[in-house]
Chains A and B, each alone.
Chain A
């Protein structure tokens, strides 16, 4: 139900992002999706990629402040309102989203998110038979 995401602390200055991407390129890691939560001084770079465990080790070796986090990943239809319908379910269950981002994969919408109540989130996903997507499917 959850997949691995790399979370990386980056200073908000020129050249910090490319350093990380270079390391991933050298390690032959395939990016699936990236997003940055930025502030004036720093950003948290979030990456979904192939072989996240190995990618994390490689970045650690290179001295990067990186952590593996477990995030939920759901498939949604590529239609207007599809995301709203899913988030509505969590909202009704009293679950707060810490962050969320979406991307398209093979014409399917992918919703990635973290919440403040992981157990209740998992239960809500199961009860509503929401289609999850595995790490392997993401990087095929």
Chain B
């Protein structure tokens, strides 16, 4: 099902024309309302009249997380405070949080986009839908909530916490859909096991999962344990919140709400735009936002874009799963290292579980050190490995592979099964102990 075929299935020519028109308008709007952008455009000797079609976007400057922090709290807000009806704050782990103000129109567009997501997942007004993202400053809870109300399903604002009560409600109310983080879905499954609630006793059929990176394996596990079909839901508060892109029933990439959020993928080092299919940093320009519009915001998420009409009928550009974070990029002894490179090596060796941790430190000789912790898979620990010599040999095998991929030496430390924490946050794979 498609919520808004007029927009979601627009011809590519019509979409480009609409995007170009909206881009000119938004550039004109920030030029006159946000001194930060006016100065940036003036420095580049650009006026809003230089931006006439969507291809002109390459002339525009980028916006970074640092820009948002430096302009804390309201420096990038374009609308007058009287027009702002809601303020969210992102979970900044370092420095100032990012403050995002929304006008009434922003909230309406957000609900519209969220309605597109839910409809693509197969949610209708007949569903009872539980929103188990945190309600509060985080955009997840209220963002998903508005979308469920928009399509007319019954929303259960469960939020997070009190998981036992939630599990009982899922059974007793016959809740059919849920939006939460994938790790919360697994926690919910564990809680149900503990309470003796079986898959047969519940009616969950749709899950909208996002707000943290997750893998295809996690999807399989969640689907198997909760008996639902799990869909990716992508978003970030700097752009809007959940609803920026969503999977359809085909589950071949996530459709971007392109009439509102224009996507690009760039090389994070040279900042050059990359063609479809190539992996790089995802960049968004908000085309219709009033409260806090952003031009070419660097998400730091690494993925690739796909064009071409989807079998579902939608024409919007799709994005791949998030493959990593460009701000995870470490510079170790002058070499760029991405945790995703380590991941690919670890995943290629069946002896290790698909979990790892990078520990970067600076030795007393002022040289950077990289340690890679990996988990031994229980079933691969056999009698062959009952001497330190054999374990050391296994560590050496991994170290050699890492060296050939990373171009720097890494010290491998083998950990016992299930001792490395499951990744929760965005850069949970790295501990950088260097005091720079």
Task: Using CB atoms and an 8 Å cutoff, list the residues of chain A in contact with chain B.
Answer: 5, 7, 9-11, 16, 37, 39, 41-42, 44, 46, 60, 63-70, 98-99, 114
Contact = CB atoms under 8 A, between A and B. Distances in A.
Interface in B373-390: 376, 378, 381-383, 385-388
Nearest to A38: B388
B387 A16 contact: no
A10 B376 CA distance: 11
A10 B388 CA distance: 11
Contacts of B418: 63
A67 B416 contact: no
Contact of A39 (B385, B388, B415, B416): B388
B53 interface: no
A135 to B, nearest CB: 16
B376 to A, nearest CB: 5
A42 B419 contact: no
B230 to A, nearest CB: 26
A67 B417 contact: no
A60 B378 contact: yes
Interface of B: 376, 378, 381-383, 385-388, 391-392, 413-419
A69 B381 CA distance: 11
A44 B416 contact: no
Nearest to B382: A67
12 contacts: A9-B385, A11-B415, A16-B416, A37-B388, A39-B392, A42-B414, A44-B387, A65-B378, A66-B378, A67-B381, A69-B383, A114-B387
B413 to A, nearest CB: 6
A44 B378 contact: no
A70 B381 contact: no
B436 to A, nearest CB: 26
B383 A68 contact: yes
A37 B416 CA distance: 16
Nearest to B415: A11
Contact of A11 (B383, B385, B419): B419
Given A16-B416, A42-B414, 19 more contacts: A5-B386, A7-B385, A9-B416, A10-B416, A11-B415, A39-B388, A39-B392, A41-B413, A41-B414, A42-B391, A44-B386, A63-B417, A64-B416, A65-B378, A65-B381, A66-B378, A67-B385, A67-B386, A114-B386
Contacts of B387: 37, 44, 98-99, 114
Nearest to A16: B416
Contact of A70 (B383, B385, B413, B414): B383
Nearest to B411: A41
A63 B415 contact: no
Nearest to A41: B413
A66 B418 CA distance: 13
Nearest to B419: A11
A85 to B, nearest CB: 25
A63 B388 contact: no
Contacts of B383: 7, 67-70
Nearest to A42: B414
Residue with the greatest number of chain A CB neighbours at <10 A, chosen from B382, B413, B415, B416: B416
A65 B386 contact: no
A46 B386 contact: yes
Nearest to B389: A98
Contacts of B415: 11
B386 A69 contact: yes
Contacts of B385: 7, 9, 44, 67
Contacts of B381: 9, 65-67
Contacts of B392: 39
Q: Which 5 A-B pairs have the closest CB atoms?
A: A7-B386, A69-B383, A65-B381, A67-B383, A67-B382
